[in-house]
């Protein structure tokens, strides 16, 4: 997937992971520059399910792997699994990045509310220092981030 998102740079390119058809591998680095001028760079090799949207909600929100908010989902996924920022910060960045991806207000808030309500246990279970090797954070954002 590729998109001209103003605060995302680089190609958001994924391929299906051969060992698990529900996972996708990030092929190229991409960067998100937050409103606070912090850069979050997702590195190649990261495995993602796109977004943990329950199948029941796919009719309303769309399947996560083809959703316009995919870059935001991937960023949120790695922030949760690496634990490099607080859960609240990861969720707030998801909301911000979804807007940047052009996701409408109602869908953004539905997704945000879902992660705020149901994200505590996954955040606590998934935080893993090894996962932090797939993200770099630069505060403030620099040209080389």
Q: DSSP per residue over 69-87, as a string?
A: THHHHHHHHHHHHH-SS-H
Q: State the chain's maximal CA–CA distance in angstroms.
A: 41
pLDDT tier at 125, thresholds 50, 70, 90: low
Q: Report d(CA 70, CA 124) in Å as an integer.
A: 23
pLDDT tier at 145, thresholds 50, 70, 90: very low
- Residue 30 is predicted with a pLDDT of 94
Nearest to 91 by CA among 65, 66, 60, 117: 117
pLDDT tier at 115, thresholds 50, 70, 90: confident
Burial 92-118 (b: 16+ CB within 10 A, else e): bbbbbbbbbbebeeebbeebbebbbee
């Amino acid at each position: 997937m590729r998109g001209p998102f103003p605060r995302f740079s680089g190609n958001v390119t994924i391929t299906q992971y051969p060992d698990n058809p529900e996972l996708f591998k990030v092929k190229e680095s991409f960067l998100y520059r937050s409103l606070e001028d912090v850069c979050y760079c997702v590195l190649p090799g990261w495995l993602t399910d796109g977004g943990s949207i329950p199948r029941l909600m796919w009719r309303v929100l769309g399947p996560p792997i083809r959703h316009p908010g995919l870059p935001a989902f991937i960023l949120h996924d790695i922030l949760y699994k690496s634990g490099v920022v607080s859960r609240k910060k990861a969720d707030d960045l998801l909301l911000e990045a979804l807007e940047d991806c052009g996701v409408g207000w109602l869908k953004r808030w539905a997704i945000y509310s879902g992660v705020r309500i149901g994200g505590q246990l996954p955040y606590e279970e998934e935080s893993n220092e090894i996962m932090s090797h797939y993200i770099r954070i630069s505060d403030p954002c620099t040209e080389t981030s």
